[in-house]
Amino acid sequence: MTTTQHPPAASGLNYNPYAPRNLWNRAMNLLAALFSAMAVLLLVAVILYVLYKGGGAITPAIFTELPPPPGLSEPMGMGNAVIGTTIVTGMAALVAVPVGVGGGIYLAEVARTGWFAQSIRFGVNVLAGVPSIICGLFIYALVVNTRVLWGESFSAMAGSLALAVLMLPTIVKTTDEGLKLVSPELRMGSLGIGASRFVTITRVVLPAAVSPIATGVVLGIARAAGETAPLIFTALFSPFWPDWSSGLGLLAPTATMSVQIYNFGIMPFAPQMQLAWAASFILVVMILAANLLARWLARFSAF
């Protein structure tokens, strides 16, 4: 009579939820989830708090009226600061984005190694750690104090140059690292079918790295948009609308939201304090919208 022998049960391979390693794994997963939730909750807390403090001033008039003089409560607006922030940050991006992306392409695609590329990377890393006030003093000495811009001193253009210096290291580094993440097979495949290096970079490599490049651009803009010290030394401040009629719109002192937050935040008057909180909320929302725009643009990546 033949008997069938069954293999012994592999009890050691069964999942034991009470095993020390599984308990430790769940504890670490819970801790990581807790830290992630804390990071998101901080953003939510900041937005809700600034909305609570300055929500009463968020009206359509805030974008169409000028701020009130110290001690007065009317009008409750800061349209000049909103326009000034948009102009200064936009002009800074027009300078920093082409230079930063171009520098990142050179480092990643043209001169990956060598003393010159390493020197540039080292300089970019050092520039990324330079305090923003030093960048403001640099542009002050180079542009404002010398009146090299058509004989004018404090101006929106000088402020945009200071912010462009702050944007550059972030854009260069993220572009460089983002292009390195593109698979070498894509480059070899493009070159193998006869495409030139220029066509390979512009039509194959860059579309594949849209997401990290866009992230770097947004991070650079987000860092520059909230800076105050460089603008105090360059764009200064103005309680009036930009004067386009005289042709000095970009060559005159310009209001920005970050400087207005600083100026109004130290005043002992409630209306000005409320406008400072309202400007803080608008600035946070603008930066959040820029990040969402970058993620939306990344969806159009070719790869």
Length of the chain measured in residues: 303
Residue 48 lies in a domain: no
Residue 240 lies in a domain: yes
Residue 4 lies in a domain: no
Q: How confident is the model at residue 172 (pLDDT cuts 50, 70, 90)?
A: very high
Looking at the DSSP bridge assignments, the partners of residue 129 are: none
Structural domains counted in the chain: 1
The two structure tokens encoding residue 68: 């009130």
Q: In this predicted model, what pLDDT tens digit does every residue of 14-51 receive, in sequence order?
A: 778 888 888 899 999 999 999 999 988 988 888 888 88
Distance CA 65, CA 152 (A): 27
- Select from 268, 245, 279, 252 the least CA-distant residue to 67: 279
Residue 242 lies in a domain: yes
Residue 42 lies in a domain: no
Q: In this predicted model, what pLDDT tens digit does every residue of 97-138 receive, in sequence order?
A: 999 999 999 999 888 778 888 899 999 999 988 899 999 999
Residue 31 lies in a domain: no
Residues of the domain holding 262 = 53-298
Contact present, 221 and 174 (Cβ < 8 Å):
no
Residue 99 lies in a domain: yes
Q: How confident is the model at residue 8 (pLDDT cuts 50, 70, 90)?
A: low
The two structure tokens encoding residue 268: 């002992």
So what's the pLDDT on residue 301?
56
Q: Degrees (nearest 5) of the Cα angle 199, 219, 256?
A: 120
Residue 187 lies in a domain: yes
* Residue where the block lists tokens 């000088």: 158
Cβ neighbours of residue 300 closer than 8 Å, sequence gap 6 or more: 210
User: What is this structure's pTM?
Assistant: 0.82
CATH of the domain at 100: 1.10.3720.10
